[in-house]
A and B are shown apart, each in its own frame.
Chain A
Amino acid sequence: MDQSKKTPVILVILAWLFVGVPWGWGVTELWKNARKLFVAPPPATAPAAPSTTAPAPAPAATAPSSK
């Protein structure tokens, strides 16, 4: 009977890819940001000059916090 035909596996895989690909891209972007935690701080002898022209919105903005 036509009504009882099984969902093709490929359809299930495609559906997961539809949400998985953008999600994976987002996680990769976030991980690039998170890696900064593991970068050693600059030597204390060279005080960092505060930048006044940020090239892009602060990286913290990418980190969703209170949801």
Chain B
Amino acid sequence: MGALSFFDRSRIVAKPGFSRWLVPPAALSIHLAIGQAYAFSVFKKPLNYLIQVQTAGGGLKALPASMDSPNPHDWSFPALGWIFILAIVFLGLSAAVFGKWLERVGPRKAMFASAVCFGSGFFISALGVQIHQLWLIYIGYGVIGGIGLGIGYISPVSTLIKWFPDRPGMATGMAIMGFGGGALIGSPLARNLMDTFRTNNDLGVMKTFLVMGAIYFVAMMFGVITVRIPAPGWKPEGWTAPAQPKALVTTHDVEVNTAFGTPQFWLLWIVLCMNVSAGIGILEQASPMIQELFKGRITAVAAAGFVALLSLFNMGGRFIWSTVSDYIGRKNTYFVFFILGGILYYLAPRTGISGLNSVPLFVIVVAVIVSMYGGGFATVPAYLKDLFGTMEVGAIHGRLLTAWSVAGVVGPVLVNYIREYEKNHGVPLADSYSTVLYVMVGLLVIGLIANAMVRPVNSKYWYNKAEDVNKSVVPA
């Protein structure tokens, strides 16, 4: 009982004098850990060659650059691809389902649940590798780990917004930037660990999973121990809420189930979905696109460097754009994404060899686009807070993340379908990118319209505490 009370909401109310600047590192410890998910691809090749290396030896030398394992008992690439898909699907589902629970129990319990799920996901997967049972990795990393991702992703959002009412965009942007940064740590960490544990007949994946599970659990526990919520009525020193709030910024709260039924929620859902779909569209093909547009000038290695550079812009954009949104407003920030983004998407193919022939210009154009893609993720929690208040913003954010799950399917499917169609109709590869990017401009126009339609939430949706109390005393 005593140990369990450590996780209670009442135990994490900050005492006077507590520095709110301890909360972003707590949030970052969670996001930097779960952001590892986007580096999972580093395991795909080793997982694909487990049996081959076990039986034929040769360690890493047995892994050709672009070939499936010749051993029929090894797991195929498409089968391995489901691990990541499951993790992302369960991220979206759990964020939507557990959001309300998170608001009730507080961030410490939610962060702990996330750490347990994410860490044990690795441990179960290690067992799956050891006894070569792929379904165990599906359940471990995909389902249980995915639930850890979802709870972890939303767990610090409303806490940060409450600690930084003066700069909510910057605060949530910082945490969500951490999710982008997680892969930057996860990828070299996994490679170094596999290098350490590798033998002639073992690629070291199982031990790497075990160690990573332990490292991430401990790192996330830092967040669990450090996180605090502000005492009721707390305000930053010297800060007073503006007497005349901006047009879209509410001083009221909307309950998550009520918010789900408002037009504003679904307009923001479209805004996020379109921004993410278009961004994924360009990220998916960044490497082949630069090689095709500048044929003979950009090698595959340089293209990999380009993709890495984009990751930095994706991460940096999360912090910069969300911070900018504190000054120019969320709606205007998304207007920039959709209008400037549309122009840049249109320009991108024109910077190629048959147009302006400028690699630096192409890199700048795509880097800005990708920064706005990241910025879209990071600015949305503050947009939700503006419209629906802080009371259940984490839960509302969780439900909105279903837009991400949909975009994760729509973006790549759209790109691949258009490319295939163009290829079958004899369109040169370099030209087919123009069509894809024009379709992306179309998606941004839809997002622009949805954003323009966002209005303050009608007062009939506001949470009425007195009404809630009355309801709870009525016998069932």
Q: A15-B226, A57-B191, A64-B183 are known contacts. Are A5 and B17 too (CB-CB below 8 A)?
A: yes
Name the interface residues of B203-217: CB closer than 8 Å to any CB of A: none
Q: A16-B25, A23-B184 are known contacts. Are A67 and B305 too (CB-CB below 8 A)?
A: no
Return the chain B residue nearest A31 by Cβ.
B312
Q: Are A61 and B41 within 8 A (Cβ)? A: yes
Q: A12-B19, A44-B296, A62-B188 are known contacts. Are A38 and B181 too (CB-CB below 8 A)?
A: no
B452 part of interface (Cβ distance < 8 Å): no
Residues of B contacting A62 with CB < 8 Å? 39, 42, 183-184, 187-188, 191, 308
Residues of B contacting A55 with CB < 8 Å? 60
Q: Are B283 and A23 within 8 A (Cβ)? A: no
Q: Are A18 and B222 within 8 A (Cβ)? A: yes
Q: A53-B61, A55-B60 are known contacts. Are A65 and B302 too (CB-CB below 8 A)?
A: no
Return the chain B residue nearest A42 by Cβ.
B299
Option from B17, B35, B304 in Cβ contact (under 8 Å) with A6: B17
Return the chain A residue nearest B374 by Cβ.
A67
Q: A7-B22, A61-B39 are known contacts. Are A27 and B45 too (CB-CB below 8 A)?
A: no
Residues of B contacting A61 with CB < 8 Å? 39, 41-42, 44-45, 187
A56 part of interface (Cβ distance < 8 Å): yes
Name the interface residues of B20-68: CB closer than 8 Å to any CB of A: 21-22, 25-26, 28-29, 32, 35, 37-39, 41-42, 44-46, 60-61, 63-65
Residues of B contacting A42 with CB < 8 Å? 299
B16 part of interface (Cβ distance < 8 Å): yes
Return the chain B residue nearest A23 by Cβ.
B181
Residues of A contacting B29 with CB < 8 Å? 18-19
Q: Are A15 and B312 within 8 A (Cβ)? A: no
B307 part of interface (Cβ distance < 8 Å): yes
Residues of A contacting B64 with CB < 8 Å? 52-54
B364 part of interface (Cβ distance < 8 Å): no
Q: With the chains together, A6 CA to B308 CA distance in Å?
A: 41
Q: A36-B304, A64-B180 are known contacts. Are A4 and B310 too (CB-CB below 8 A)?
A: no
B269 part of interface (Cβ distance < 8 Å): no
Q: Are A67 and B38 within 8 A (Cβ)? A: yes
Q: With the chains together, A30 CA to B279 CA distance in Å?
A: 20
Q: Are A66 and B280 within 8 A (Cβ)? A: yes
Residues of B contacting A29 with CB < 8 Å? 184, 187-188
Binary contact track A35-67/B, C-beta < 8 Å → 1, others 0: 111110110100010111111111111111111
Q: Are B301 and A36 within 8 A (Cβ)? A: yes
Q: Are B22 and A12 within 8 A (Cβ)? A: yes
Q: With the chains together, A34 CA to B306 CA distance in Å?
A: 6
Residues of B contacting A65 with CB < 8 Å? 38, 280, 283-284, 286, 307, 310-311
Q: With the chains together, A42 CA to B297 CA distance in Å?
A: 9
Would you mind naming 8 contact pairs between A and B with Cβ atoms under 8 Å apart? Answer: A19-B29, A19-B32, A33-B304, A52-B64, A59-B308, A62-B183, A63-B310, A65-B310
Residues of A within 8 A of B (CB): 3-7, 11-12, 15-16, 18-19, 22-23, 25-27, 29-31, 33-39, 41-42, 44, 48, 50-67
